[in-house]
Amino acid sequence: MISKLKYTGSNRLKLILWWVVIFIVVKVLEAIVINSAFIFLHVVISLVGYLGLFIMIVSSAVYWFRERGRIENAFIPFAFSFLSLCFMLFFPSTALILKADFLLKREEREEVVKMLANKQIDYSLTKTSHVDIPEEYANLSAGFPNVVVEQVDGEMCVLFYTYRGLTDNSSGFVYVPNEKVMTQFKLREYGNSIFYDPIEITKITDHWYFVANT
């Protein structure tokens, strides 16, 4: 009987472990998936993932309560599933992915900014603020191979998307040639296409900001 209980606990722990590993992979790929055709699949996977962890916490808590006096370390499946859920909820995976994205692609983004400034990329802001960029730079802006270009006080500002919502929610890295441009934008106040009703404006480094209205 004891060996059977140990076997049950071991299987439960293995199931939790595999579920967590799969869910971690999903979270790591989140920044990529949410800007692809698989965005709806991502939402489903996330819901199933969190729901699965919650169910595992409940079932492992019941297992611990029932077997705590009959089997050693019956609490381990519960402890592991609880810590896993906390990790998923509070680990700043998105922030780390965005930081890595900025550092790895900064030089290429600045190349695009120079091309726009030197008119090596043809565009007309009288038609649209969305400007197509060369295909080799398509991975610099999420969703589609284009950026947003705005003239603010005579200065050319460029937004590279990191997220494009299904409606008007978005976020991205903004290049501003003059830091003074940023003084006129305030949280939750309409600015323009780049700084549309922002709820977050964070300076990353000189000339670069992260802006979000999601």
> What does the pLDDT look like over 154-166, one tens digit per residue?
889 999 998 876 6
Pick from 35, 77, 60, 39: nearest CA to 163: 35
Is the model's pLDDT at 92 over the cut of 70?
Answer: yes
Q: Which pTM value belongs to this model?
A: 0.72
